[in-house]
Amino acid sequence: MRLELFRQQMKNQQADAVLVTEPLNVRYLSGFTGSAGQLLITAEQAILITDYRYIEQAQTQATAFQCYCRDRARQSLGQAISALLTSQPAQLQLDYDQVPVALYQQLQQELSCTLADSRQITEQLRAIKDPQELAAIRQAAAIADQALSWLLPQLKPGVSEQQAAHWLEQHLLALGAEALAFPTILLSGPRTALPHGKPSERRFQQGDWILIDFGAQVQGYKSDMTRSYVLGKASPQQQDFYQTVERAQQAALAAAKAGIRADQLTEVAQKILADSAFFAYAGEGLGHSIGLALHEQPLMRYGCQQILMPGMVVTIEPGLYWPGFGGVRLEDDILITAEGAELLSHSPKPMELPLE
């Protein structure tokens, strides 16, 4: 089905032949999960080019493709393409944003056809998740919910960021995650103002901010969730800070639906932050799509005019980051539907974590 959809997009773009090189795009279209492979696709041919290390794996996984074993020492990729094509195309399209300059120059020298940009055909297809993809993302999100529920009672004064992150990661794997979606961000106190800080040896103290950004991976598909808390009783300023982010996220979640542009949805959240006393500390974007990659198209930010469509899975994650004071980010994964949005992350969002 994916190959058929790809060929339809090729026809729409009047593409004679496309070379797919980005590993996640190769996996999406063919099922091949090896680290060395390219797809050569025309209206009549569908070929996976790999080498001796992966040829058996390719034949097992990429059943809709002819699998070709290239001798890398004696045959360049361009030579293999020339030998495999049953008819010479006028143009070969490539993932321009994924192809190294050296490979582009080599193909330019070795092929008689012209090279052109494929304009992210595969990325456009990947934006809409099919039922199998959604099932994997749902499972990844559910594992993250369960792991966080287990972790929160363990967060006490004296526990370090690194220790808590290790506990969380181990529990994700114990619950069935095949891998982490990305290295866990778990920060405390003023360090929560670092949007992508790494866990340190700093130990939690009463009244600290705690920010946890993490996810699980299932069948290659990722989840991504962030929660922020105060350890113990929040001060009035902490309450205002947290509730500003909470209002921004709730407004965006309520407005999310098919037909709205990514930048319009970003504006919904940003307006609430702009009208607050904390706008100087607002993060730039609202979120991103997720799937085989952690950050996929569309990117939810100013300038992105892509229209959200049913089947897209995106994150909604406004944040405030005040150096010296702390940061708050609230992030949920949602499935865009015709009527609105379905929450895939279900962990509660209490502002305060009890000390007892």
pLDDT tens for 105-142 read 999 999 989 999 998 899 999 999 999 999 999 999 99
Mean pLDDT on 246-273: 97
Question: For residue 321, which of 192, 186, 207 has the smallest C-alpha distance?
Answer: 192
Quick one: average pLDDT of 168-181? 98
Mean pLDDT score, 272-288: 96
- Top-confidence residue, 159 or 87: 159
Q: Which residue has the tokens 């949007």?
A: 195
Q: What is the mean pLDDT of residues 170-190?
A: 98
Residue written as tokens 């080599």? 106
Which of 295, 299, 316, 281 is closest to 194 using CA atoms? Answer: 281
Q: Please give the average per-residue pLDDT across 168-185, as a whole number.
A: 98
For the chain, the domains span 2-126, 131-353
Output 356 or 291, whichever has higher pLDDT: 291
Element (H, E) at 38: strand 38-42
CB 314 within 8 A of CB 336: yes
Distance CA 206, CA 234 (A): 10
- CATH placement of domain 2-126: 3.40.350.10
d(CA 307, CA 330): 23
pLDDT tens readout for residues 48-65: 999 999 999 999 999 999
> Is residue 39 within 8 Å of 19, Cβ to Cβ?
yes
Q: What is the pTM of this model?
A: 0.95
- What percent of the chain has a predicted confidence (pLDDT) above 70? 100
| Chain segment 214-243, per-residue pLDDT in tens | 999 999 999 999 999 999 999 999 999 999
What is the predicted pLDDT for the residue at 35?
A: 94
Q: What is the DSSP letter of 208?
A: -
In CATH, 131-353 is 3.40.50.300: no
Query: How many other C-beta atoms can be found within 10 angstroms of the C-beta atom of residue 259?
Result: 11
268 phi/psi in degrees, rounded to 5: -55, -50
Q: Is the pLDDT of residue 356 over 80?
A: no
Tens of pLDDT along 4-44? 999 999 999 999 999 999 999 999 999 999 999 999 999 99
- 3 state SS of 10: helix
